[in-house]
């Protein structure tokens, strides 16, 4: 079943056509990657799916209904969780406080760090334990986010995106700028999102080796346009992708 379907999406900024007639079908329980060189339009396309921008043309369907112009917060309620390319957590708060904010804001009680009934507080704490356990950050619970490694900050963001109990998690370059070992931690958690939580993952990434090893399906963009869509094997064998983007040595390395 297709969970998220983008059809003929277009988006321009003044004279720049950032996304031009791009379609993608994200299947339920799949890990789907969007790749392409810098400036290809990946983030803009992604933002039209999350509702951060509305497209100028085309439609977006999610979980059986059209959401093309649904506001971002309604999409979160409908089951979309996302993290931004720029960190969207509060560095001066602890990991635990960030998650409290995420969970309380979902419950419609934004920025309420203390309070609620005892039962509510216990439920929130249990949920925080569950989320931190899932991303292996339980031991960093009381640390300020600013003091964590970049990889742990990303994991904290992923935990935040899970706090709204999404069906799909949208991640824009979750591994950007991370060292090898930290990249592996994120890769493991993305696999677990599908395997242990049964979620669907759509992520933007430019590390080809990561994409080819992690994704079930890959959408390749180049200069705002859809260049190819297929399985890792199809994409690494695709001549247009090889010519335009991948580079022979990267593909042969896999
Ligand atoms: N908010 C914006 N205003 C104007 N131009 C933008 C904006 N966002 C992106 N662009 C332009 O759209 C194109 C695609 O950008 P982007 O979607 O960020 O690509 P990618 O994520 O693949 O690197 C680029 O030419 C970029 O300069
Ligand atoms: Mg980008």
Tell me the per-residue pLDDT of 180-238, one tens digit each, with 9 for 90 and over: 999 999 999 999 999 999 999 999 998 778 899 999 999 999 999 999 999 999 999 99
Domains and CATH numbers, the chain: 2-253 (3.40.50.300)
Tokens for 101, please give them: 């904010």
CA of 206 to the centre of ligand 1 (A): 15
pLDDT of 112 strictly over 60: no
> What is the whole-number distance in angstroms between the Cα of residue 44 and the centre of ligand 1?
6
Which tens digits make up the pLDDT trace of 65-85? 999 999 888 888 899 987 654
Q: Is 146 helix (H, G, I), strand (E, B) or coil?
A: helix
Contact 211, 198 (CB under 8 A): no
Residues in contact with ligand 1 by the CB-under-6-Å rule are: 13, 16, 18, 36, 38-44
List the structure tokens of 158: 């992923």
Q: Is 141 helix (H, G, I), strand (E, B) or coil?
A: coil
Atom of ligand 1 nearest to the CA of 19: 14
The phi and psi torsions of 209 (rounded to 5 degrees) equal: -65, -40
Q: Which atom of ligand 1 is nearest to the CA of 204?
A: 21
């Amino acid at each position: 079943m297709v969970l998220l379907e983008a059809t003929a999406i277009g988006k321009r900024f003044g004279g720049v056509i950032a996304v031009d007639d791009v379609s993608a079908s994200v299947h339920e329980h799949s890990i789907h990657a969007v790749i392409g060189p810098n400036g290809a339009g990946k983030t803009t396309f992604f933002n039209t799916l999350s509702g951060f921008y509305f497209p100028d043309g085309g439609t977006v369907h999610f979980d059986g209904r059209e959401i093309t112009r649904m506001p971002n917060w309604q999409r979160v309620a409908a089951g979309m969780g996302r993290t931004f390319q720029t960190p969207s957590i509060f560095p001066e708060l602890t990991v635990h406080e960030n998650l409290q904010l995420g969970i309380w804001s979902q419950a419609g009680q934004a920025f309420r760090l203390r309070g609620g009934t005892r039962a509510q507080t216990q439920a929130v704490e249990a949920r925080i334990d569950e989320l931190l356990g899932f991303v292996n950050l339980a031991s960093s619970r009381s640390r300020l986010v600013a003091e964590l490694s970049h990889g742990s900050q990303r994991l904290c963001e992923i935990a935040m995106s899970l706090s709204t109990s999404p069906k799909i998690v949208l991640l824009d370059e979750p591994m950007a700028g991370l060292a090898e070992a930290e990249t592996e931690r994120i890769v493991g958690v993305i696999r677990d999102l599908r395997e242990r939580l049964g979620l669907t993952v759509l992520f933007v990434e430019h590390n080809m080796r990561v994409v080819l090893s992690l994704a079930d399906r890959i959408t390749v963009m180049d200069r705002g346009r859809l260049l190819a869509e297929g399985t890792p094997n199809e994409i690494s064998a695709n001549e247009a992708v090889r010519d335009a983007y991948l580079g022979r040595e990267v593909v042969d390395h896999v």
